[in-house]
Amino acid sequence: MSVPLLSVNNLTMRFGGLTAVDSVSFDVHRDHITAVIGPNGAGKTTAFNCITGFYKPTDGQIVLTHADDSVFKLEEMEDFRISQTAKVARTFQNIRLFGGMTVLENLMIAQHNRLMRASLYTLAGIFNTPSYQRAQKIAKEKAEFWMDRVGITDRADDPAAALPYGAQRKLEIARAMCTDPVLLCLDEPAAGLNPRESEELNTLLRSIRDTNKVGILLIEHDMSVVMEISDHIIVLDYGRKISDGTATEVRNDPAVIKAYLGVVED
Amino acid sequence: MHYFLQQLINGITLGSIYGLIAIGYTMVYGIIGMINFAHGDVFMVGSFVSLITIIIFGITGTSNVFLGIGVLVLVAAISMVIAGIYGWTIERLAYRPLRGSFRLAPLITAIGVSIFLQNFVQATQGARVKPLQAIISGGFTLLSSDDFVVRITYMQILIVVLTFLLMAGFTYLISKTSLGRAQRACEQDMKMAMLLGIDVNTTISTTFVIGAALAAVAGLMYLLYYGVIDFYIGFSAGIKAFTAAVLGGVGSLPGAMLGGLVIGLIEVFFAAYFSSEYKDVAAFSMLIVVLIFMPQGLLGRPEIEKV
Amino acid sequence: MSQNDQSISKVLPILKRSVVATFIAFFLFLPTLGIKTAASGGVDGLFLQYRWPLLAIGCGLVFFGRIAYELMSSNKEGKQQKQAAPSALARALGSSKVAKAVAPLLLVFGLIFPFLPSSDRYILDLGILIITYVMLGWGLQIVVGLAGLLDLGYVAFYAVGAYSYALLSIHFGFGFWMCLPLAGLLAATWGVVLGFPVLRLRGDYLAIVTLAFGEIIRVVLLNWRSFTGGSNGLSSIPRPSFFGLPFNQEPGGFAATFGLEYSSLQRIIFLYFLILALAIFTYFVTGRLRRLPIGRAWEALREDEIACRSLGINTVNTKLSAFAIGAMFGGFAGSFFAAKQAFVSPESFNFMESATILAIVVLGGMSSQLGVVFSAIAMVGGVELLRQLQFLKVIFGADFDPSQLRLLLFGLAMVLMMLWRPRGLVSTRTPTVFLKDKKTVSAAMISQGRG
């Protein structure tokens, strides 16, 4: 197999005396949906925050390789650069939208860096030059494309905070996709969704993987989502990786069964 | 060396005053997360109440330390009560209606209250500075050389001792009593505290009253130490005390005290060795430096950003 | 139950609460209204003046005020609902259609204002003052309203602009139009220099640090005598001329050149149009900035900084740009101030100024340009009216200066207005871009940000 999209090596994160993530290693492949699962407090979100730069890991390497072989050492990069140059997008466990701004505005902000360049860092924008107008139009079209794709076009001009919960989750994914990522990190995307919405999410994620060629890394509690769409599952418990493989492999791994035993999963 | 020692004594005295004001900032910030901008002006009001009470008792320049202390305790008590009422009223009228509202709103009302109090006192008491003769005179000579005498006055001893007594008392109050527990519960999670039957409004009011009462004591000390006050003293003393609160770590009472001492020492030493005109610049620059390099303060807990 | 009993059961609690309020007020007023420390002129300094009538008046006002308040609030049915619904004025101002209609009207009024028969020198000066504050308000609105960064030291940039103009014109003989951009640039540079280390701080800390910066700049201006003239300030700053024509009685002056009779009012009118032009420029630039990517990023920053970072936005640079551009407009306004006064001193740049500008922005509404105009008129114009309150001398004695009361009432107004409308006159926001139709976003949705 080719070089993995993301390669996490001995990732360790300590908060004071607490080791939340303890030398975890795994790979994420370009054409895969990779899921990180584990009981509460297993260190999933912490690992996620290290990958997306919101925490600086205590130890370990996180290497991202683009299709053109350019390599990014994420553990050394500032959070916003990880999205800007390494092209890793993320969503949040408790949705973080710009609530007072409309759906369309949310999607335009995701294209900030491109639009800033097009507006010559505001100089050309002030005078509304034709090249800026073109860039603005293209950005709007991209926003419309993703609104269509996740099915919230009719709410384009409503403030994000007014959207129902499921639509907010979709908007957050659309917003992340508007940054043109190579890796999309989703923190519990199915949390709070009803079964129909979960199903729609599965379809959306599959199509993002297949048509946009974006690698997906997700944390999820909803096993129906995880088992159905994941090509590759990593199981964490108490900050350590206890299993790694396909859905079937993981399901039959005694270590996983032990970790989940007594934990009622639904 | 002698000069240095004298400045050290002066710095600790001034720092005690800042520390007492800082406690009010730190407690209020801890419990409702707002900068009580008017706190410095409550300190100023406390100072004026002390001045009036001292004149009513008509005791100045006594060298009888015990009589002096006795009267001062009475003066302090009266100032604490009146400043406490000020603190309570401000919270009730200007802050409570805005609790849970737009984040900037209480800060703006706080600034409004501050402007109001300053000008209210200016209008009613006049704009001129108010001088007061020393109430307790005398002191010890610690060291003396040919050209310089290091003295610690009874006044300075009183200020420092009283400050540490109050500090100890209130630290006990916060850590051991049910009021302290209620306060800490509100700090952690106000909604949950309310659900558990804690009277959040009373707890917050009490916090304001305590902070204001301590500021009034600081106001009395400031009056005694400098011997002169005006309606504007609350502004810069307020900022410095806030600096002290941040320096010590917001929410920490010993931190506020420690921060107060550091700010007092910086101010006094800067004035003594560099320039008294720029002493405020030194104190304010300290605030900026601390916030940049040590935002959790000396004794505060580090904050982990929740993502 | 008879009607009498019913009304008693209603009245009694009201009376009880009013008595309690009066009791509290008694203690609040005792050391302020009731007892005054007055200088005796002797060595010993002070004696006490007892003013029982004044104390009684104060307590009486509280007693009846409280009763009036109780009666009013008990008459108000569905109080909650009323608070939630914005007032008609606010709704109208918030709607972009009305705003589009009101703005040109205001502009026309602004243009003909100096030629109205009622416009004497005093009124024109007041107009200039209000427009200056409107301009400052729009500048600060970028920082506080859009980017959500609470800046309590905005007056520092105003001061930088004013001193830049003063020093450049005195030492190098630069003209107004030369100084204006330089002053703006210098203020913006200061914005970056001061902003860079502190913009990572969370909201309230930023507020207090900017306040400290403002004070530092004032103290430096006050004490760096060789450079700034200290508390005496800088005087004899060259006044701006009309494209090289000075406003004087000389043959080469403005009046002579245009064949007009010389009047000192001409210079004032010129200054009026100068600040009006600057304000219009500010209006268009800040309005445009808001609809550009940079402006959207500012608002996004206010809404959720962490989400911004996850989208690849450099939050430090974005905050710095807000700080610098806000500072630049402060610098422009300062430059105009120095040109108008022909004199600058540190006294003009104290914390009160920062508080006033901030109050204008917050009362105006965080993202409404029109709101700022109305709140500047209310704040500056309304407070100016209080200067006329000479009758108060009857109450407070002949040596009483009503302008003291001006600030007192200003503080009170700040509190009352925030209690009345915590989110300002115009609390809604207009989207910067839309697909089908532009709907305003109601206040409840808009986040206040942390910074």
Q: pLDDT (tens digit, 9 = 90+) per residue, A180-238?
A: 999 999 999 988 888 899 899 999 999 999 998 899 999 988 787 888 889 999 999 88
Q: Which residues of chain C are within 8 Å of residue A158 when distances are taken between CB atoms?
A: 439
- Whole-angstrom distance, CA of residue A3 vs CA of residue A7: 9
Does the residue C51 lie in any domain? Answer: yes
In this structure, the dihedral spanned by the alpha carbons of residues C258, C259, C261 and C267, taken in order and rounded to 10 degrees, is 10
Whether residues C40 and C148 share a domain: the answer is no
User: Phi, psi (5° rounding) for residue B143?
Assistant: -140, 150
Quick one: average pLDDT of A71-78? 90
Higher pLDDT, C233 or C283: C283
Quick one: average pLDDT of C107-113? 87
- Whole-angstrom distance, CA of residue C367 vs CA of residue C148: 10
Tokens of B304: 């982990």
- Whole-angstrom distance, CA of residue C199 vs CA of residue C192: 10
Looking at residue A261, the DSSP 8-state letter turns out to be T
Does the residue C219 lie in any domain? Answer: yes
pLDDT band at C392 (very low <50, low <70, confident <90, very high): low
Tokens of B117: 């109090």
For residue B267, the model assigns a pLDDT of: 92
Per-residue burial over B73-110, b = 16 or more CB atoms within 10 Å of its CB, e = otherwise: eebbebbbbbbbbbbbbbbeebbbebeeebbbbbbbbb
Whether residues C70 and C135 share a domain: the answer is no
pLDDT band at C80 (very low <50, low <70, confident <90, very high): very low
- Whole-angstrom distance, CA of residue B136 vs CA of residue B65: 6
Tokens of C175: 């003209």
Residue C423 carries which side chain, given as an amino acid letter? Answer: R
Cα A238 off chain centre by? 22
Tokens of A229: 């769409």
Whether residues C302 and C430 share a domain: the answer is yes
For residue C298, the model assigns a pLDDT of: 94
Higher pLDDT, B16 or C79: B16
- Whole-angstrom distance, CA of residue A247 vs CA of residue A233: 6
For residue A206, the model assigns a pLDDT of: 92
- Whole-angstrom distance, CA of residue B4 vs CA of residue B15: 16
Closest chain C residue to B113 measured between Cα atoms? C411
Does the residue C123 lie in any domain? Answer: yes
**Min distance C17 CA to chain B CA atoms (Å):** 14
Higher pLDDT, A110 or B150: A110
Residue B197 has pLDDT above 90, yes or no: no
Does the residue C82 lie in any domain? Answer: no
Quick one: average pLDDT of C106-120? 84
pLDDT band at A261 (very low <50, low <70, confident <90, very high): low
Chosen from B31, B95, B111 to mutate, greatest number of chain C CBs within 10 A: B111
Closest chain C residue to B112 measured between Cα atoms? C411
**Min distance C224 CA to chain B CA atoms (Å):** 10
Question: Three-class SS of residue A98?
Answer: coil
- Whole-angstrom distance, CA of residue B60 vs CA of residue B133: 6
Whether residues C32 and C157 share a domain: the answer is no
CB contact under 8 A, C299 and A100: yes
* Sequence-distant (≥ 6) Cβ neighbours of residue B11 within 8 angstroms: B261, B264, B265, B266, B267, B268, B269
* Sequence-distant (≥ 6) Cβ neighbours of residue C163 within 8 angstroms: C221, C228, C234, C334, C338, C344
CB contact under 8 A, A80 and C309: yes
pLDDT band at C83 (very low <50, low <70, confident <90, very high): very low
Does the residue C85 lie in any domain? Answer: no
Residue A266 has pLDDT above 50, yes or no: no
Beta-strand ranges (E) seen in chain B are 130-131, 139-144, 149-153, 228-229
- Whole-angstrom distance, CA of residue C131 vs CA of residue C275: 7
Tokens of C279: 């304000």
**Range in B32-41, B100-109, C103-112 with the lowest mean pLDDT:** B100-109
Residue A242 has pLDDT above 60, yes or no: yes
Residues belonging to chain A: 266
For residue C84, the model assigns a pLDDT of: 44
For residue C4, the model assigns a pLDDT of: 67
Q: Which residues of chain A are within 8 Å of residue C310 when distances are taken between CB atoms?
A: 52, 54, 79-80, 83, 89-90, 92, 96, 176
pLDDT band at C396 (very low <50, low <70, confident <90, very high): low
Whether residues C251 and C399 share a domain: the answer is yes
Given a contact cutoff of 8 angstroms between Cβ atoms, the answer to whether A140 and A168 are in contact is no
What are chain A's partners, defined as 3 or more CB pairs within 8 angstroms? B, C
Domain count, chain C: 2
Delimit the domains of chain A by residue range: 1-87+181-266, 95-180
Given a contact cutoff of 8 angstroms between Cβ atoms, the answer to whether B115 and C407 are in contact is yes
- Whole-angstrom distance, CA of residue B87 vs CA of residue B215: 10
Does domain A1-87+181-266 sit in CATH 3.90.650.10? no
Does the residue C416 lie in any domain? Answer: yes
What residues make up the domain containing C424?
92-445
Higher pLDDT, C423 or C145: C145
Residue B180 has pLDDT above 50, yes or no: yes
CB contact under 8 A, C45 and B132: yes
Does the residue C83 lie in any domain? Answer: no
SS (H, E, C) B8-39: HHHHHHHHHHHHHHHHHHHHHHHHHCCCCCCH
Residue pointed to by tokens 């301590």: B214
Does the residue C400 lie in any domain? Answer: yes
For residue C231, the model assigns a pLDDT of: 84
Whether residues C305 and C330 share a domain: the answer is yes
Q: Which helix (H) or strand (E) holds B188?
A: helix B178-188
Given a contact cutoff of 8 angstroms between Cβ atoms, the answer to whether C144 and C136 are in contact is no
- Whole-angstrom distance, CA of residue B240 vs CA of residue B243: 5
Does domain A95-180 sit in CATH 3.30.70.1150? no
Neighbours of A93 (CB within 10 A): 15
- Whole-angstrom distance, CA of residue B293 vs CA of residue B289: 6
**What residues of chain B, 152 to 211, have a C-beta less than 8 Å from chain A?**
none
- Give C254-306 pLDDT, tens digit per residue: 877 787 777 778 888 899 999 999 999 999 999 999 999 999 999 999 889 99
Q: Which residues of chain A are within 8 Å of residue C321 when distances are taken between CB atoms?
A: 122
- Which of A90-104, B155-169, B177-191, B193-207 ranks highest by mean pLDDT? A90-104
Residue pointed to by tokens 């532009």: C438
**CB proximity B132 to C under 8 Å:** yes
Higher pLDDT, A40 or B95: B95
Question: Three-class SS of residue C156?
Answer: helix
Q: Which residues of chain A are within 8 Å of residue B303 when distances are taken between CB atoms?
A: none
Cα C5 off chain centre by? 51
Residue pointed to by tokens 């519960």: B185
- Whole-angstrom distance, CA of residue B104 vs CA of residue C150: 8
- Give B125-154 pLDDT, tens digit per residue: 888 888 887 777 777 787 777 777 888 888
Q: What is the CATH number of the domain that holds C434?
A: 1.10.3470
Quick one: average pLDDT of B251-256? 86
Q: Which helix (H) or strand (E) holds C134?
A: helix C121-140
**CB proximity A20 to B under 8 Å:** no
Whether residues C104 and C68 share a domain: the answer is no
Chosen from B108, B230, B307 to mutate, greatest number of chain C CBs within 10 A: B108
Nearest CB among B45, B97, B120 relative to C419 is that of B97
For residue C93, the model assigns a pLDDT of: 60
Tokens of B193: 């505290």
Per-residue burial over A159-179, b = 16 or more CB atoms within 10 Å of its CB, e = otherwise: bbbbbeebbbbbbbbbbbbbb
**CB proximity B105 to C under 8 Å:** yes
- Give B14-66 pLDDT, tens digit per residue: 999 999 999 999 888 888 888 898 999 999 999 999 999 988 887 665 666 77
For residue B189, the model assigns a pLDDT of: 81
Question: Three-class SS of residue A113?
Answer: helix
**Min distance C26 CA to chain B CA atoms (Å):** 10
Given a contact cutoff of 8 angstroms between Cβ atoms, the answer to whether C237 and C165 are in contact is yes
For residue A233, the model assigns a pLDDT of: 92
- Whole-angstrom distance, CA of residue C213 vs CA of residue C159: 12
Is the CA virtual torsion B85, B87, B89, B91 positive or negative? negative
Residue C398 has pLDDT above 70, yes or no: no
Whether residues C70 and C97 share a domain: the answer is no
Within B38-97, where are the H helices?
A: 39-57, 65-90
Q: Which helix (H) or strand (E) holds C62?
A: helix C52-75
Residue B147 burial (CB < 10 Å; 0-12/13-18/19+)?
Answer: exposed
Please identify, among C16, C48, C75, the residue that sits at the C-terminal boundary of a domain: C75
Q: What is the value of ipTM here, to two decimals? A: 0.91
Tokens of C134: 């409107």
For residue B57, the model assigns a pLDDT of: 83
CB contact under 8 A, C441 and A54: no
For residue C205, the model assigns a pLDDT of: 79
For residue C135, the model assigns a pLDDT of: 96
For residue B265, the model assigns a pLDDT of: 93
Whether residues C176 and C205 share a domain: the answer is yes
- Give C311-334 pLDDT, tens digit per residue: 999 999 999 999 999 999 999 999
Whether residues C175 and C259 share a domain: the answer is yes
CB contact under 8 A, B307 and A15: no
Residue pointed to by tokens 């004070």: C215
For residue C399, the model assigns a pLDDT of: 59
For residue C106, the model assigns a pLDDT of: 87
Enumerate domains of chain B plus CATH numbers: 2-293 (1.10.3470)
**Min distance A218 CA to chain C CA atoms (Å):** 16
Whether residues C40 and C145 share a domain: the answer is no
Neighbours of C99 (CB within 10 A): 18
**CB proximity C6 to B under 8 Å:** no
Residue C337 has pLDDT above 90, yes or no: yes
Residue pointed to by tokens 């073109």: A134
Cα C200 off chain centre by? 26
Whether residues C49 and C181 share a domain: the answer is no
Cα C411 off chain centre by? 12
Quick one: average pLDDT of C232-261? 80
Tokens of C201: 């701080």
Higher pLDDT, A7 or C387: A7
Quick one: average pLDDT of C206-226? 87
